[in-house]
């Protein structure tokens, strides 16, 4: 990785330059809208029908601020139109391709292609960053060494290998992994490309915000009915936060534009370390959580932290329960028809179910309302994982019982008229 001291400053202009650098290698992912979900988001939770929300939230999260299905109680009525940035359709299926292509491009510029080709790059990751770096390295003919725990799921190992990376197995603790990385560096001279805590990564991840800003403008010029009446631009963006590379990149990209940036975090087992950290005024350095939003289990890194604690850059962080993430995931798939991973559903969950967030939008956006960008950060999950999330044994039993009638119904009418 290039030395931090030689990196471009974390400014909107640097994000623009990063965008120019990576544009040939990444997809300009589409922006989707979904009338049904925008209407739902603009309806108070207490007025929604039970099937449109996590109606078991009251049971599973008794201390939660959110209220669903409680028609007697006031809940906020923000007016919003939503714009989904489909990074699930980015190369390797997640936004991470942006940071990896940018970091590697900068490294090649700094050290020269021949030198980088000779030494190679290395990282440790069992997730999207591994595949992103493998793809970027393959594209430039650079060897990539990816240290993965030997217990990684076979599909992820296969995915990383399919991009031609040299996969090296390690134990699963931090020490064990880093020992293997150190060994690789010693043997090959490879340069470490970390997943989020580096300006080159941050600037790369921020590029999606420039596209979103332009795309929403273009959509609204073409069809104003898709947005808030009379407002021809984005008002706010909600972004998932794990290590914080993407959130700090988007804060940087949109700084000074007047577009508000919000972070969205899972709350389960203290996964909301960034939200907590902001309250305490101190970065939380360790997190141990098994939230279903598995891309967001990481605590926020040092450089991202320095960005998101700047109140002119980040407008706030809000968190959601596991049930709320599942409900948002279900809506994104069934209504918007977008296949996303649980981590990518967290911003939509904040928009739909976090009552503090909703009250704030109701107040700040007023009767006019806001055009809100929702970052769908990735789609790297499997139908089997989705099956595991949504098929409870009880559920299965109910479905089996209902099977006979359903079949009858379906067969009965298969006769041409």
Among 149, 217, 233, 257, binds a second copy (CB under 8 A): 149
Q: Residue 77 Cβ, how far from a second copy at the closest point, in Å?
A: 20
Torsion of CA 295, 301, 303, 305, to 10 degrees: 90
First to last CA, the chain: 68
CA 306 vs CA 10, 14, 168, 210, 310: distances in Å: 11, 17, 33, 21, 7
Q: Provide the mask over 161-180, with x wherever binding to a second copy is found by CB under 8 A and - wherever it is not.
A: -----------xxx--x---
| Distance of alpha carbon 152 from alpha carbon 133, whole angstroms | 17
- From 5-13, 204-212, 228-236, 297-305, give the range in contact with a second copy by CB under 8 A: 297-305
Beta carbon nearer to a second copy, 143 or 299:
299
Residues 14, 38, 125, 126: which is the catalytic one? Answer: 126
Q: How many other β-carbons are positioned within 10 Å of the β-carbon of residue 139?
A: 18
| Distance of alpha carbon 383 from alpha carbon 386, whole angstroms | 5
Beta carbons of 236 and 85 less than 8 angstroms apart: no
Among 51, 62, 63, 72, binds a second copy (CB under 8 A): 51
Using rule CB under 8 A, residue 280 touches a second copy: no
Among 57, 121, 180, 340, binds a second copy (CB under 8 A): 340
Beta carbon nearer to a second copy, 49 or 113:
49
- From 61-69, 83-91, 132-140, 202-210, give the range in contact with a second copy by CB under 8 A: 83-91
Q: Residue 294 Cβ, how far from a second copy at the closest point, in Å?
A: 6
DSSP 13: H
Q: How many other β-carbons are positioned within 10 Å of the β-carbon of residue 108?
A: 18
Using DSSP's 3-state secondary structure scheme, residue 375 falls into strand
Beta carbons of 253 and 85 less than 8 angstroms apart: no
Among 69, 266, 301, 373, binds a second copy (CB under 8 A): 301
Helix (H) or strand (E) run with residue 109 in it: helix 96-111
Using rule CB under 8 A, residue 414 touches a second copy: yes
The structure tokens 């669903």 sit at 68
Using rule CB under 8 A, residue 396 touches a second copy: yes
**Known active-site residue 96:** yes
**Known active-site residue 125:** no
Q: Residue 160 Cβ, how far from a second copy at the closest point, in Å?
A: 14
| Distance of alpha carbon 191 from alpha carbon 123, whole angstroms | 8
Q: Residue 126 Cβ, how far from a second copy at the closest point, in Å?
A: 7
| Residue ranges in 66-191 assigned as alpha helix (H) | 96-111, 113-119, 128-140, 154-162, 174-188
Using rule CB under 8 A, residue 249 touches a second copy: no
Beta carbon nearer to a second copy, 45 or 380:
380
- From 109-117, 136-144, 146-154, 353-361, give the range in contact with a second copy by CB under 8 A: 146-154
- From 111-119, 230-238, 245-253, 376-384, give the range in contact with a second copy by CB under 8 A: 376-384
List, by residue number, the catalytic residues: 96, 126
């Amino acid at each position: 990785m290039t030395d931090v001291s030689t990196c471009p400053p974390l400014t909107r202009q640097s994000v623009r330059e990063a965008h120019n650098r990576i544009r040939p290698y990444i997809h300009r992912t589409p922006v989707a809208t979904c009338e049904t979900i925008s209407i739902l988001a603009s309806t108070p939770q207490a007025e929604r029908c039970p099937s449109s929300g996590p109606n078991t939230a009251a049971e599973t999260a008794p201390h939660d601020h959110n209220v669903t299905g409680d028609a007697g109680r006031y809940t906020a009525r923000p007016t919003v139109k939503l714009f989904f940035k489909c990074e699930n359709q980015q190369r390797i299926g997640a936004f991470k391709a942006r940071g990896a292509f940018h970091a590697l491009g900068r490294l090649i510029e700094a050290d020269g292609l021949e030198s980088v080709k000779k030494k190679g790059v290395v990282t440790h990751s069992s997730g999207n960053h591994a595949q992103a770096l493998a793809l970027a390295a393959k594209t430039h003919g650079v060897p990539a060494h990816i240290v993965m725990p030997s217990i990684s799921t076979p599909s992820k190992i296969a995915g990383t290998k399919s991009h031609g990376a040299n996969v090296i197995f390690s134990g699963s603790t931090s020490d064990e992994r880093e020992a293997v990385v150190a060994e690789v560096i010693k043997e090959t001279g490879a340069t470490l490309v970390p997943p989020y805590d580096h300006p080159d990564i941050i600037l790369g991840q921020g590029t999606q915000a420039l596209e979103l800003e332009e795309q929403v403008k273009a959509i609204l010029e073409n069809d104003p009915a898709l947005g808030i009446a009379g407002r021809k631009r984005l008002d706010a963006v909600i972004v998932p936060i794990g290590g914080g590379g993407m959130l700090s990149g988007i804060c940087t990209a949109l700084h000074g534009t007047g577009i508000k940036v919000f972070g969205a975090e899972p709350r389960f087992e203290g996964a909301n370390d960034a939200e907590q950290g902001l309250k305490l005024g101190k970065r939380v350095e360790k997190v141990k959580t098994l939230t279903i939003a598995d891309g967001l289990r990481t605590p926020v890194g040092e450089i991202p932290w320095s960005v998101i604690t700047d109140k002119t850059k980040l407008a706030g962080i809000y968190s959601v329960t596991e049930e709320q993430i599942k409900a948002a995931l279900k809506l994104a798939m069934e209504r918007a028809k977008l296949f996303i991973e649980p981590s990518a559903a967290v911003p939509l969950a904040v928009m739909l179910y976090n009552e503090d967030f909703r009250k704030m939008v109701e107040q700040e956006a007023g009767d006019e309302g806001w055009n809100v960008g929702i970052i769908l950060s990735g789609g790297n999950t499997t139908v089997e994982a989705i099956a595991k999330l949504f098929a409870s044994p009880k559920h299965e039993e109910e479905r089996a019982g209902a099977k006979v009638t359903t079949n009858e119904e379906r067969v009965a009418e298969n006769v041409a008229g």
